[in-house]
Amino acid sequence: MKEKFFLLLLGASLITAGCVSTVTGGSVAGDPLVKDKVEGRYERPLDQVYDAAKEVVKFNGVMVKESILHTETNMVKTVEGKVNQRTVWVRVEAMDPKITGVAVQARTSGGGSDLDLAHEIEKQIALKLVR
């Protein structure tokens, strides 16, 4: 009986586990059914928003990687970092010459979502742009 229960539990965990696409274009293991991304738009140039995103990630943790995505039609820059033992991805995209979009995604090492952290990072980027 215990063996059947364990196999049922294992099967259920395998069904719910999967791959999640990141805002930077990669993929990680995690639960694809939960929300893990927060977006915002700002009336600022791309480079100014990108610099603010890098500063916020460095202030809260460690910046692991920064890159420019060349496969997109719009100019897209990304930042990846570690904050409070969570992985944070930030995508900064020029929507048009005056509007820049930001998408922040945060996941735990086990693949769970940390929407509160993603929202906090996005809010700090907005506050950095006001100053």
The predicted structure's pLDDT at residue 59? 95
Domain CATH code at residue 52:
3.30.310
Bridge partner residues of 68 (DSSP): 77
| pLDDT tens track, the chain, 131 positions | 777 777 776 666 655 557 777 887 787 877 777 888 999 999 999 999 999 999 999 999 999 998 888 776 778 999 999 999 999 999 999 988 889 999 999 988 888 888 999 999 999 999 999 87
Distance CA 129, CA 61 (A): 19
Domain membership of residue 5 (yes or no) is no
Domain membership of residue 91 (yes or no) is yes
H helices, E strands: number in the chain: 3, 7
The predicted structure's pLDDT at residue 78? 92
The predicted structure's pLDDT at residue 15? 53
What are residue 101's phi and psi, to 5 degrees?
Answer: -100, 145
Domain membership of residue 90 (yes or no) is yes
Domain membership of residue 2 (yes or no) is no
Query: H or E element: which one contains 125?
Result: helix 115-130
Contact between 78 and 69 (Cβ < 8 Å): yes
Domain membership of residue 44 (yes or no) is yes
> What is the number of domains present in the chain?
1
Domain membership of residue 6 (yes or no) is no
Q: Residue 109 has what DSSP assignment?
A: T
Token pair for 90: 């930030």
Domain membership of residue 32 (yes or no) is yes
Which residue range(s) make up the domain with 89?
19-130
